[in-house]
Amino acid sequence: MGVALRVRGWRLVLLVLVLAIGAVLLARDWHAGASTGSGTGNSTGNSTADGAGTSQGDAIGVGHALAAASTSRLGSEPACAAYSGLPAGWGSDPHAGMVRVDGGSFIFGSEHGYPDERPAQAGATRVAGFWIDRTEVTQAQFAAFVAATGYVTQAERQGAGVVFHVPTAEELQQRPYAWWTLEKGAQWRTVQAGASASTSAPASASMSSPAPAAAMASAASAAPAASATVSTSGDHLPVTLVTQADALAYARWLGRDLPTEAEWEYAGKAGRSDAQLDTAPADAAGKPAANYWQGAFPQLDVAADGHAGVAPVGCYAPNGFGLHDMIGNVWEWTRDPYTGPRQPHANGDTAVAAGRPANPASPANAAMVIKGGSFLCAPDYCVRYRASARESQERDLAAAHIGFRTVRRN
C-alpha cells in the first residue's frame, strides 16, 4: 500500500512538471508571435512630438497613423546617428518606412502666420487617407534608386546647385541673399555644412536677440569663412540638391507620388492647430524640438538643437502621426504649383544666386510649393517653422536646403 502511494505521488509530481513546462512553451510562442506581428505589420508605441507617448495604434487628433514597418525607433540623437538610412522592409515591402494616415478634415492654412499662409478656403478641407514616409527620403534610399536605374539628377546635368555659405562682410554689402551661392559640382551626394559657433562668430552672441547688421558684418570679417559644402555622403541624412522632377522620378520608381500641399500640411499638423508666427518648436523643457537656426542669421548658428547644418533624419521626437522632421531640417517638395501672395524675402532668393529672374512664368521652371522650413529658418530670417508655412521654389533649381518625402494613395 505504501509503495503504491509513493508511485502515485511521483506520477502526480511528473504530471505537474509536464503541465508547467507546456505552459511556459505556449507563453513563449505567443510572445514571439506578437513581437513578429508588431515588427512586420503595425508598429506601435512611438511617442508623440509633445512627449505624451501615445501609441500609433490609438486615435490621435482627426485621424490615426499606423506604421507599416519600424524604421529602428527613431526620435533621439543615438537612434538617428545609428540609423542606416534604409527602413525595415526596404526592397520587399511597398510601404517600407511609411505611416498610414487616416483621412479627415482640417483648417488648410493659418491665421497666425504670414499673409500667404491664410486659410485656403472658408471652413475645413477634407483629405482622403494616404501613406506617407515617416522621415525625409535619405541619401541611402536615393542611392538605391540611382543604382537601380542609372538616374542622373538635374543638378548633375546642369553642373551646379545652390548651397548655403557664411557670407563675408563684403559679400553682405555687395549683393542680396549673399548666403546663397551657385556652387559648381554641387549635387545630391554633397552634404551641406552649417555655420557653427566655432567657425562663424563668438559663442557669446545672443540667441534670443538677433545681432544688428553692423555687428553681423563685423563678426563675418573677424571669423574665417566656412566652406559651403563637404564632399562626402551620409546615408542617414536627407537627400538634398534634388529638383521636383528628381523627387518625382524617385517616387514613381516606388509606385508613389509627392504629397499635395494639403496632404503634406494635414500630415504635418497631425490634428493640431499651428503655433503663433514667432513660436519656435520646443519641447516641454524649452529645448529646440526640431533642426532650425538658433542665433544671428546668417553669421552664427549656436546649434542649441544639436546640429549646425543638415541633421540626420529622425533625431527629434515625431509628431502626433509618428512623422519625424515635418518641421525644420530641410524644406520638402510638394506636387503643387505655388499660387497666392509671396513675402518680400521669398521672391527668388535662390533664383538670384543662380542668376535667374524671380517668380518665373515658364512651365519648365515654374515655382512650386515647398513645405516645412529648414535648418536655415531663424527668428530673424524665414521664421517658417510651422506646418502651414509655405514657400515657392523653381521646380528645376536644386538647393541644399530642400529635400522631400513621398506618399502612396491606396
| Least trusted range by pLDDT, from 52-61, 64-73, 388-397 | 52-61
Distance separating alpha carbons of residues 82 and 76, to the nearest angstrom: 10
pLDDT at 264 exceeding the cut of 60:
yes
Q: Identify each DSSP E strand in 42-107 by its residue range.
A: 65-67, 98-101, 104-106
Which of the 8 DSSP states describes residue 46?
P
Q: Could you tell me if residue 306 is left (phi over 0), alpha (psi between -120 and 50 degrees) or otherwise beta?
A: left
Q: Could you tell me if residue 260 is left (phi over 0), alpha (psi between -120 and 50 degrees) or otherwise beta?
A: beta
Helix H or strand E encompassing 183:
strand 180-184
In sequence order, the 6+-apart residues with CB closer than 8 A to the CB of 383 are 277, 278, 377
Distance separating alpha carbons of residues 399 and 376, to the nearest angstrom: 12
If one counts the domains in the chain, the total is 1
Predicted structure pTM score: 0.74
Residue 13 lies in a domain: no
Classified as helix, coil or strand, 367 is strand
Share of the chain above pLDDT 90, in %: 50
Range of the domain at 316: 42-410
pLDDT tier, 135 (very low <50, low <70, confident <90, very high otherwise): very high
Q: Are 141 and 242 in contact (CB under 8 A)?
A: no
Which pLDDT score, from 0 to 100, does residue 121 have?
Answer: 77
Give the residue-averaged pLDDT of 159-183.
Answer: 91
Residue 27 lies in a domain: no
Model confidence over 311-364: pLDDT tens digits?
999 999 999 999 999 999 999 999 999 988 766 555 447 776 667 665 555 666
Residue 229 lies in a domain: yes
Q: Are 239 and 140 in contact (CB under 8 A)?
A: no
Q: Are 408 and 320 in contact (CB under 8 A)?
A: no
Question: Which residue's C-alpha cell is 497666392?
Answer: 340
Helices 139-149, 244-253: axis angle to 10 degrees equals: 70
Q: CA quadruple 45, 46, 52, 56: dihedral positive or negative? A: negative
Distance separating alpha carbons of residues 151 and 249, to the nearest angstrom: 9
Model confidence over 223-252: pLDDT tens digits?
333 344 443 458 999 999 999 999 999 999
Distance separating alpha carbons of residues 391 and 397, to the nearest angstrom: 14
Residue 29 lies in a domain: no
Q: Are 318 and 134 in contact (CB under 8 A)?
A: yes
Residue 392 lies in a domain: yes
Model confidence over 282-309: pLDDT tens digits?
898 999 999 999 999 998 999 999 999 9
In sequence order, the 6+-apart residues with CB closer than 8 A to the CB of 141 are 85, 86, 90, 97, 239, 250
The CATH number that applies at residue 259 is 3.90.1580.10
- Rounded to the nearest integer, the mean pLDDT of the chain is 76
Residue 30 lies in a domain: no
Exposed/middle/buried for 246, CB within 10 Å: 0-12, 13-18, 19+?
buried
Which pLDDT score, from 0 to 100, does residue 71 have?
Answer: 60
All three cell numbers of 124: 475645413
Which pLDDT score, from 0 to 100, does residue 6 have?
Answer: 44
Residue 302 lies in a domain: yes
Residue 62 lies in a domain: yes
Classified as helix, coil or strand, 320 is coil
Model confidence over 87-98: pLDDT tens digits?
999 999 999 999
